[in-house]
Structure 1
Amino acid sequence: MRLPLLPTLMVAAMVPVMIGLGVWQLHRANWKTDLLARLEARADMPALDRPERLTDDMEFRRIRLDVACPDQLPNGRSGKSVDGRAGFSTVLLCRAAGGDLWVETGWSDRPDGWTLMNPYWPPARPTEMTGTLVLSSGKGPRYVLVLETAPAPLLRLAPPSPETISNNHMAYAVQWFAFAATLGIIYAVYVLRLRRGK
Protein backbone atom coordinates (compact mmCIF):
# COMPACT_ATOMS: atom_id res chain seq x y z
CA MET A 1 0.00 0.00 0.00
CA ARG A 2 1.28 3.44 -0.88
CA LEU A 3 1.34 6.07 1.87
CA PRO A 4 -1.21 8.91 1.51
CA LEU A 5 0.71 11.74 -0.14
CA LEU A 6 -0.71 14.90 1.46
CA PRO A 7 -0.88 13.66 5.11
CA THR A 8 2.62 12.18 4.77
CA LEU A 9 4.05 15.45 3.44
CA MET A 10 2.33 17.44 6.17
CA VAL A 11 3.62 15.18 8.96
CA ALA A 12 7.10 15.06 7.43
CA ALA A 13 7.18 18.86 7.44
CA MET A 14 5.52 19.52 10.81
CA VAL A 15 7.22 16.97 13.08
CA PRO A 16 10.77 18.30 12.50
CA VAL A 17 9.52 21.86 12.96
CA MET A 18 7.92 20.97 16.30
CA ILE A 19 11.03 19.12 17.45
CA GLY A 20 13.15 22.11 16.39
CA LEU A 21 10.94 24.46 18.41
CA GLY A 22 11.28 22.15 21.42
CA VAL A 23 15.08 22.16 21.12
CA TRP A 24 15.03 25.96 20.78
CA GLN A 25 13.00 26.24 23.98
CA LEU A 26 15.55 24.04 25.77
CA HIS A 27 18.27 26.49 24.74
CA ARG A 28 16.06 29.37 25.91
CA ALA A 29 15.59 27.63 29.27
CA ASN A 30 19.37 27.41 29.75
CA TRP A 31 19.75 31.06 28.73
CA LYS A 32 17.01 32.18 31.15
CA THR A 33 18.49 30.14 34.01
CA ASP A 34 21.86 31.82 33.45
CA LEU A 35 20.23 35.26 33.23
CA LEU A 36 18.32 34.77 36.48
CA ALA A 37 21.49 33.64 38.25
CA ARG A 38 23.26 36.82 37.09
CA LEU A 39 20.34 39.02 38.17
CA GLU A 40 20.22 37.37 41.60
CA ALA A 41 23.98 37.92 41.99
CA ARG A 42 23.48 41.62 41.19
CA ALA A 43 20.67 41.89 43.73
CA ASP A 44 23.06 40.68 46.46
CA MET A 45 25.78 43.22 45.61
CA PRO A 46 26.30 46.39 47.69
CA ALA A 47 24.72 49.60 46.47
CA LEU A 48 26.39 51.22 43.48
CA ASP A 49 27.18 54.84 44.39
CA ARG A 50 26.20 57.51 41.87
CA PRO A 51 27.08 55.91 38.53
CA GLU A 52 27.70 58.38 35.71
CA ARG A 53 25.04 56.74 33.58
CA LEU A 54 22.50 53.94 33.88
CA THR A 55 22.96 50.74 31.87
CA ASP A 56 21.05 47.49 31.44
CA ASP A 57 23.71 45.54 33.32
CA MET A 58 22.61 47.39 36.48
CA GLU A 59 19.15 45.80 36.41
CA PHE A 60 18.16 44.59 39.92
CA ARG A 61 21.21 46.34 41.36
CA ARG A 62 20.83 48.60 44.38
CA ILE A 63 21.85 52.11 43.32
CA ARG A 64 22.39 55.42 45.11
CA LEU A 65 21.61 58.48 42.98
CA ASP A 66 21.10 62.21 43.35
CA VAL A 67 17.60 62.64 41.94
CA ALA A 68 15.52 65.74 41.25
CA CYS A 69 11.82 65.75 40.37
CA PRO A 70 11.02 69.39 39.51
CA ASP A 71 7.42 70.32 38.77
CA GLN A 72 6.28 66.72 38.67
CA LEU A 73 2.78 65.55 39.51
CA PRO A 74 2.91 62.05 40.95
CA ASN A 75 0.49 59.41 39.72
CA GLY A 76 -0.59 56.04 41.02
CA ARG A 77 -0.44 52.57 39.50
CA SER A 78 -0.91 49.09 40.90
CA GLY A 79 1.76 47.92 43.32
CA LYS A 80 2.43 45.78 46.38
CA SER A 81 3.63 46.78 49.80
CA VAL A 82 6.68 45.16 51.36
CA ASP A 83 4.34 42.93 53.41
CA GLY A 84 2.49 41.75 50.29
CA ARG A 85 -0.66 43.88 50.36
CA ALA A 86 -2.13 44.89 47.00
CA GLY A 87 -2.60 48.60 46.45
CA PHE A 88 -1.01 51.45 44.56
CA SER A 89 2.51 52.64 43.85
CA THR A 90 3.27 56.36 43.55
CA VAL A 91 5.37 57.07 40.46
CA LEU A 92 7.31 60.18 39.45
CA LEU A 93 9.21 61.20 36.34
CA CYS A 94 12.57 62.46 37.66
CA ARG A 95 16.11 63.33 36.57
CA ALA A 96 19.48 61.96 37.64
CA ALA A 97 23.00 62.32 36.26
CA GLY A 98 22.35 59.44 33.89
CA GLY A 99 19.19 61.01 32.43
CA ASP A 100 15.46 60.76 33.06
CA LEU A 101 14.03 57.84 34.99
CA TRP A 102 10.86 56.79 36.76
CA VAL A 103 10.94 56.76 40.55
CA GLU A 104 8.52 54.51 42.45
CA THR A 105 8.35 56.20 45.82
CA GLY A 106 6.01 54.22 48.04
CA TRP A 107 2.81 52.25 48.57
CA SER A 108 -0.68 53.31 49.54
CA ASP A 109 -4.02 51.54 49.74
CA ARG A 110 -5.60 54.31 47.66
CA PRO A 111 -4.83 55.44 44.09
CA ASP A 112 -4.34 59.07 45.16
CA GLY A 113 -2.09 58.20 48.10
CA TRP A 114 0.50 60.61 46.74
CA THR A 115 -1.76 63.51 47.80
CA LEU A 116 -0.92 62.66 51.42
CA MET A 117 2.83 63.10 50.92
CA ASN A 118 4.87 65.77 52.62
CA PRO A 119 4.43 69.06 50.67
CA TYR A 120 8.21 69.27 50.27
CA TRP A 121 8.23 65.97 48.45
CA PRO A 122 9.02 65.27 45.65
CA PRO A 123 12.25 67.23 45.83
CA ALA A 124 12.85 69.84 43.11
CA ARG A 125 16.60 69.87 43.84
CA PRO A 126 18.92 66.85 43.58
CA THR A 127 18.35 64.65 46.62
CA GLU A 128 20.06 61.39 47.51
CA MET A 129 17.83 58.37 46.89
CA THR A 130 18.64 54.68 47.16
CA GLY A 131 16.66 51.92 45.53
CA THR A 132 16.64 49.01 43.13
CA LEU A 133 16.99 49.73 39.43
CA VAL A 134 14.77 47.79 37.00
CA LEU A 135 13.85 48.15 33.34
CA SER A 136 10.65 49.98 32.52
CA SER A 137 7.97 48.04 30.64
CA GLY A 138 6.13 51.07 29.30
CA LYS A 139 6.69 54.33 27.45
CA GLY A 140 9.09 56.99 28.64
CA PRO A 141 12.41 56.47 30.40
CA ARG A 142 14.04 53.05 30.18
CA TYR A 143 14.69 52.68 33.91
CA VAL A 144 12.70 52.65 37.14
CA LEU A 145 14.22 53.26 40.57
CA VAL A 146 12.15 51.55 43.29
CA LEU A 147 13.02 53.35 46.52
CA GLU A 148 14.08 51.52 49.67
CA THR A 149 12.59 54.20 51.90
CA ALA A 150 9.17 55.69 51.21
CA PRO A 151 8.35 59.31 52.02
CA ALA A 152 5.76 59.50 54.81
CA PRO A 153 2.96 58.62 55.01
CA LEU A 154 3.52 56.19 52.15
CA LEU A 155 4.81 52.71 53.02
CA ARG A 156 7.71 50.83 51.51
CA LEU A 157 7.04 48.98 48.27
CA ALA A 158 7.88 45.32 47.78
CA PRO A 159 11.44 45.40 46.41
CA PRO A 160 11.87 44.10 42.85
CA SER A 161 13.22 40.57 42.73
CA PRO A 162 14.45 38.32 39.91
CA GLU A 163 12.18 35.66 41.45
CA THR A 164 9.22 37.43 39.81
CA ILE A 165 10.64 36.65 36.34
CA SER A 166 9.17 33.43 34.99
CA ASN A 167 11.19 30.70 33.32
CA ASN A 168 8.60 28.55 31.51
CA HIS A 169 10.82 27.52 28.61
CA MET A 170 11.26 23.93 29.82
CA ALA A 171 7.48 23.51 29.94
CA TYR A 172 7.19 24.98 26.44
CA ALA A 173 9.84 22.51 25.21
CA VAL A 174 7.89 19.59 26.67
CA GLN A 175 4.74 20.87 24.95
CA TRP A 176 6.43 21.03 21.54
CA PHE A 177 7.87 17.52 21.93
CA ALA A 178 4.43 16.29 23.02
CA PHE A 179 2.80 17.90 19.97
CA ALA A 180 5.34 16.19 17.69
CA ALA A 181 4.77 12.82 19.36
CA THR A 182 0.98 13.24 19.22
CA LEU A 183 1.06 14.12 15.53
CA GLY A 184 3.28 11.10 14.84
CA ILE A 185 0.91 8.78 16.73
CA ILE A 186 -2.16 10.18 14.94
CA TYR A 187 -0.46 9.68 11.58
CA ALA A 188 0.56 6.11 12.47
CA VAL A 189 -3.00 5.23 13.56
CA TYR A 190 -4.37 6.82 10.38
CA VAL A 191 -2.05 4.77 8.14
CA LEU A 192 -2.77 1.59 10.10
CA ARG A 193 -6.53 2.05 9.62
CA LEU A 194 -6.04 2.70 5.91
CA ARG A 195 -4.12 -0.60 5.62
CA ARG A 196 -6.81 -2.51 7.50
CA GLY A 197 -9.45 -1.02 5.25
CA LYS A 198 -7.73 -2.41 2.14
Structure 2
Amino acid sequence: MTVLGFRPALWPTLIALPAVVLTFGLGVWQVQRLAWKEGLIAERTARIALPVLSGLPAAFAPDKHLFRRARFAGVFLHDREMYRPARSRRRGEIGVQVVTPLRLDSGGTILVNRGWVPDLRRNPETRRDGLVAGRVALVGVLRTPARAGWFVPDNDPAANAWFRLDLGQMATHAGLAAVRPYYAELVADAPGGWPRGGQTRVTVRNAHLEYAITWFSLSLIGIVVYVLWHRRFRPAGRAAADNRAA
Protein backbone atom coordinates (compact mmCIF):
# COMPACT_ATOMS: atom_id res chain seq x y z
CA MET A 1 0.00 0.00 0.00
CA THR A 2 1.20 3.54 -0.65
CA VAL A 3 0.30 6.82 0.94
CA LEU A 4 0.61 10.40 -0.13
CA GLY A 5 3.16 12.46 1.75
CA PHE A 6 6.60 13.88 1.28
CA ARG A 7 9.76 13.77 3.31
CA PRO A 8 13.15 13.60 1.54
CA ALA A 9 14.81 10.21 1.73
CA LEU A 10 18.59 10.06 2.00
CA TRP A 11 19.69 7.94 -0.96
CA PRO A 12 17.24 9.29 -3.55
CA THR A 13 18.28 12.79 -2.50
CA LEU A 14 21.98 11.98 -2.77
CA ILE A 15 21.38 10.63 -6.26
CA ALA A 16 18.91 13.21 -7.55
CA LEU A 17 20.42 16.42 -6.20
CA PRO A 18 23.79 16.22 -8.05
CA ALA A 19 22.02 15.15 -11.25
CA VAL A 20 19.58 18.06 -11.12
CA VAL A 21 22.33 20.57 -10.29
CA LEU A 22 24.56 19.21 -13.06
CA THR A 23 21.90 19.27 -15.78
CA PHE A 24 20.70 22.73 -14.75
CA GLY A 25 24.29 24.01 -14.75
CA LEU A 26 24.85 22.58 -18.23
CA GLY A 27 21.69 24.34 -19.39
CA VAL A 28 22.98 27.66 -18.05
CA TRP A 29 26.33 27.06 -19.75
CA GLN A 30 24.60 26.42 -23.09
CA VAL A 31 22.66 29.68 -22.73
CA GLN A 32 25.96 31.48 -22.19
CA ARG A 33 27.45 29.74 -25.23
CA LEU A 34 24.39 30.75 -27.26
CA ALA A 35 24.87 34.41 -26.35
CA TRP A 36 28.59 34.22 -27.16
CA LYS A 37 28.01 32.60 -30.55
CA GLU A 38 25.24 35.01 -31.53
CA GLY A 39 27.56 37.88 -30.62
CA LEU A 40 30.33 36.34 -32.72
CA ILE A 41 28.08 36.02 -35.75
CA ALA A 42 26.81 39.58 -35.33
CA GLU A 43 30.37 40.89 -35.07
CA ARG A 44 31.47 39.05 -38.22
CA THR A 45 28.41 40.25 -40.12
CA ALA A 46 29.09 43.84 -39.10
CA ARG A 47 32.77 43.70 -40.05
CA ILE A 48 32.22 42.20 -43.47
CA ALA A 49 29.76 45.03 -44.22
CA LEU A 50 32.30 47.76 -43.42
CA PRO A 51 33.95 49.72 -46.24
CA VAL A 52 36.66 47.85 -48.14
CA LEU A 53 40.20 48.46 -46.88
CA SER A 54 42.50 50.04 -49.44
CA GLY A 55 45.36 47.60 -49.02
CA LEU A 56 46.43 44.79 -46.74
CA PRO A 57 47.39 45.57 -43.13
CA ALA A 58 51.12 45.42 -42.44
CA ALA A 59 50.44 44.42 -38.84
CA PHE A 60 47.40 42.15 -38.75
CA ALA A 61 45.21 42.58 -35.66
CA PRO A 62 42.43 39.95 -35.44
CA ASP A 63 40.16 42.18 -33.36
CA LYS A 64 40.43 44.85 -36.05
CA HIS A 65 41.03 43.17 -39.40
CA LEU A 66 39.48 39.69 -39.18
CA PHE A 67 36.55 39.38 -41.61
CA ARG A 68 37.30 42.76 -43.17
CA ARG A 69 37.29 43.08 -46.95
CA ALA A 70 40.44 44.50 -48.50
CA ARG A 71 41.76 45.47 -51.93
CA PHE A 72 45.15 44.18 -52.98
CA ALA A 73 47.04 43.40 -56.16
CA GLY A 74 49.77 41.09 -57.39
CA VAL A 75 50.59 38.12 -59.60
CA PHE A 76 49.17 34.64 -59.04
CA LEU A 77 51.59 31.70 -58.89
CA HIS A 78 49.21 29.27 -60.56
CA ASP A 79 51.80 26.50 -60.78
CA ARG A 80 51.76 26.29 -56.96
CA GLU A 81 48.03 26.16 -56.29
CA MET A 82 46.85 23.89 -53.48
CA TYR A 83 43.54 22.18 -52.82
CA ARG A 84 41.33 22.14 -49.77
CA PRO A 85 38.65 19.40 -49.93
CA ALA A 86 35.24 21.04 -49.46
CA ARG A 87 31.62 20.81 -50.50
CA SER A 88 29.79 23.49 -52.43
CA ARG A 89 27.75 25.91 -50.33
CA ARG A 90 24.45 25.50 -52.17
CA ARG A 91 24.14 21.84 -53.17
CA GLY A 92 26.77 20.13 -51.08
CA GLU A 93 28.64 18.82 -54.12
CA ILE A 94 32.06 17.28 -53.55
CA GLY A 95 34.98 19.38 -54.73
CA VAL A 96 37.88 21.52 -53.54
CA GLN A 97 38.67 25.11 -52.73
CA VAL A 98 41.62 26.38 -54.76
CA VAL A 99 44.28 28.12 -52.67
CA THR A 100 46.80 30.01 -54.80
CA PRO A 101 49.81 32.07 -53.67
CA LEU A 102 49.75 35.70 -54.81
CA ARG A 103 53.00 37.63 -55.08
CA LEU A 104 51.98 41.06 -53.83
CA ASP A 105 52.83 44.37 -55.46
CA SER A 106 53.59 45.63 -51.97
CA GLY A 107 56.05 42.80 -51.31
CA GLY A 108 55.76 39.34 -49.86
CA THR A 109 53.15 36.71 -50.59
CA ILE A 110 49.64 35.96 -49.41
CA LEU A 111 47.71 32.72 -49.80
CA VAL A 112 44.40 33.35 -51.55
CA ASN A 113 41.36 31.09 -51.43
CA ARG A 114 40.12 31.76 -54.94
CA GLY A 115 36.93 29.72 -54.49
CA TRP A 116 35.37 26.32 -55.03
CA VAL A 117 35.51 23.96 -58.01
CA PRO A 118 33.94 20.52 -58.47
CA ASP A 119 36.27 17.54 -58.65
CA LEU A 120 35.85 17.47 -62.43
CA ARG A 121 37.51 20.90 -62.59
CA ARG A 122 40.29 20.31 -60.09
CA ASN A 123 42.77 20.01 -62.95
CA PRO A 124 43.73 23.60 -63.95
CA GLU A 125 43.55 22.62 -67.63
CA THR A 126 39.77 22.32 -67.28
CA ARG A 127 39.46 25.99 -66.23
CA ARG A 128 42.10 27.79 -68.22
CA ASP A 129 40.04 31.01 -68.41
CA GLY A 130 40.47 31.36 -64.67
CA LEU A 131 44.27 31.12 -64.79
CA VAL A 132 44.76 34.84 -65.24
CA ALA A 133 48.36 35.75 -66.05
CA GLY A 134 50.04 38.99 -65.04
CA ARG A 135 48.95 41.54 -62.49
CA VAL A 136 45.45 41.25 -61.02
CA ALA A 137 43.52 43.57 -58.68
CA LEU A 138 41.38 41.71 -56.16
CA VAL A 139 38.98 42.11 -53.25
CA GLY A 140 39.02 39.47 -50.55
CA VAL A 141 37.89 38.79 -47.00
CA LEU A 142 40.77 38.56 -44.54
CA ARG A 143 40.81 35.38 -42.49
CA THR A 144 42.99 33.36 -40.16
CA PRO A 145 42.78 29.56 -40.04
CA ALA A 146 40.07 28.24 -37.75
CA ARG A 147 40.97 25.58 -35.23
CA ALA A 148 40.43 22.19 -36.84
CA GLY A 149 38.11 19.70 -35.16
CA TRP A 150 39.14 16.30 -33.83
CA PHE A 151 37.80 14.47 -36.87
CA VAL A 152 39.47 16.63 -39.52
CA PRO A 153 42.17 14.55 -41.26
CA ASP A 154 45.79 15.62 -41.26
CA ASN A 155 47.10 17.39 -44.33
CA ASP A 156 48.49 15.24 -47.12
CA PRO A 157 51.16 17.32 -48.89
CA ALA A 158 52.06 14.42 -51.18
CA ALA A 159 48.51 14.48 -52.58
CA ASN A 160 48.33 18.28 -52.34
CA ALA A 161 45.26 17.90 -50.09
CA TRP A 162 44.98 20.48 -47.31
CA PHE A 163 42.21 19.67 -44.86
CA ARG A 164 43.69 22.09 -42.31
CA LEU A 165 44.77 25.56 -43.39
CA ASP A 166 48.24 25.49 -41.86
CA LEU A 167 49.73 28.54 -43.57
CA GLY A 168 53.30 27.76 -42.54
CA GLN A 169 53.14 24.17 -43.75
CA MET A 170 51.50 25.22 -46.99
CA ALA A 171 54.09 27.93 -47.59
CA THR A 172 56.90 25.44 -47.05
CA HIS A 173 55.26 22.98 -49.43
CA ALA A 174 54.96 25.67 -52.12
CA GLY A 175 58.51 26.93 -51.57
CA LEU A 176 57.39 30.37 -50.44
CA ALA A 177 59.02 32.91 -48.18
CA ALA A 178 57.65 35.99 -46.40
CA VAL A 179 54.06 34.73 -46.39
CA ARG A 180 51.45 36.84 -44.59
CA PRO A 181 50.14 35.29 -41.33
CA TYR A 182 46.58 35.46 -42.68
CA TYR A 183 44.89 34.58 -45.94
CA ALA A 184 42.18 36.07 -48.15
CA GLU A 185 38.96 34.61 -49.55
CA LEU A 186 37.97 36.21 -52.84
CA VAL A 187 34.46 37.60 -53.07
CA ALA A 188 34.11 37.26 -56.87
CA ASP A 189 34.26 34.35 -59.30
CA ALA A 190 37.29 33.91 -61.53
CA PRO A 191 36.96 34.58 -65.28
CA GLY A 192 35.05 31.69 -66.84
CA GLY A 193 33.21 31.07 -63.57
CA TRP A 194 35.79 28.77 -61.96
CA PRO A 195 36.88 28.87 -59.20
CA ARG A 196 33.63 30.16 -57.71
CA GLY A 197 34.33 32.88 -55.15
CA GLY A 198 32.28 34.04 -52.20
CA GLN A 199 33.03 31.05 -49.99
CA THR A 200 33.23 33.05 -46.76
CA ARG A 201 30.84 31.88 -44.04
CA VAL A 202 30.10 34.35 -41.28
CA THR A 203 27.71 31.96 -39.57
CA VAL A 204 28.82 29.00 -37.50
CA ARG A 205 26.96 25.95 -36.28
CA ASN A 206 24.74 27.14 -33.46
CA ALA A 207 22.64 24.47 -31.76
CA HIS A 208 23.11 25.81 -28.24
CA LEU A 209 19.43 26.72 -27.82
CA GLU A 210 18.43 23.11 -28.49
CA TYR A 211 21.13 21.89 -26.12
CA ALA A 212 19.96 24.29 -23.40
CA ILE A 213 16.35 23.14 -23.76
CA THR A 214 17.50 19.52 -23.51
CA TRP A 215 19.51 20.07 -20.32
CA PHE A 216 16.82 22.18 -18.64
CA SER A 217 14.23 19.54 -19.57
CA LEU A 218 16.34 16.79 -18.02
CA SER A 219 16.75 18.89 -14.90
CA LEU A 220 12.99 19.42 -14.67
CA ILE A 221 12.30 15.73 -15.28
CA GLY A 222 14.71 14.84 -12.48
CA ILE A 223 12.84 17.12 -10.07
CA VAL A 224 9.44 15.73 -11.08
CA VAL A 225 10.57 12.11 -10.73
CA TYR A 226 12.14 12.84 -7.36
CA VAL A 227 8.97 14.47 -6.00
CA LEU A 228 6.64 11.80 -7.40
CA TRP A 229 8.77 9.02 -5.96
CA HIS A 230 8.45 10.51 -2.50
CA ARG A 231 4.75 11.33 -2.79
CA ARG A 232 3.50 8.14 -4.40
CA PHE A 233 5.91 5.26 -4.04
CA ARG A 234 7.21 5.31 -0.49
CA PRO A 235 6.00 2.32 1.54
CA ALA A 236 3.10 3.06 3.90
CA GLY A 237 4.92 1.67 6.91
CA ARG A 238 7.86 3.95 6.24
CA ALA A 239 5.60 6.96 5.87
CA ALA A 240 3.72 6.11 9.08
CA ALA A 241 6.97 5.68 10.98
CA ASP A 242 8.16 9.03 9.71
CA ASN A 243 4.91 10.64 10.82
CA ARG A 244 5.17 9.13 14.33
CA ALA A 245 8.78 10.27 14.62
CA ALA A 246 7.71 13.76 13.68
8 Å CA contact retained: 1:76, 1:112: no
| 2:50 corresponds to | 45
Q: Distance in 2 between matches of 1:115 and 1:75?
A: 15
| 1:27 corresponds to | 32
Amino acid in structure 1 at the alignment position of 2:17: A
% identity of equivalent residues:
26
Q: Which has the larger radius of gyration?
A: 2
Q: Distance in 2 between matches of 1:8 and 1:168?
A: 32
The correspondence for 1:74, drawn from 77, 82, 92, is 82
Aligned length: 194
> Would the alpha carbon gap of residues 8 and 130 (structure 1) be closer, same or farther in structure 2, given more than 3 Å must change?
same
| 1:64 corresponds to | 71
C-alpha deviation, 1:42, in angstroms: 0.7
| 2:176 corresponds to | none
The CA RMSD measured in Å over matched residues stands at 3.4
> Would the alpha carbon gap of residues 100 and 194 (structure 1) be closer, same or farther in structure 2, given more than 3 Å must change?
farther
8 Å CA contact retained: 2:23, 2:216: yes
Amino acid in structure 2 at the alignment position of 1:65: F
C-alpha deviation, 1:80, in angstroms: 2.5
For normalisation by structure 1, the TM-score amounts to 0.75
2:160 matches 1:160 = no
2:180 matches 1:140 = no
Q: Distance in 2 between matches of 1:166 and 1:99?
A: 35
Amino acid in structure 2 at the alignment position of 1:106: G
> Would the alpha carbon gap of residues 99 and 54 (structure 1) be closer, same or farther in structure 2, given more than 3 Å must change?
farther
> Would the alpha carbon gap of residues 100 and 14 (structure 1) be closer, same or farther in structure 2, given more than 3 Å must change?
farther
Q: Distance in 1 between matches of 2:208 and 2:107?
A: 34
| 2:240 corresponds to | none
| 2:124 corresponds to | 114
| 2:210 corresponds to | 171
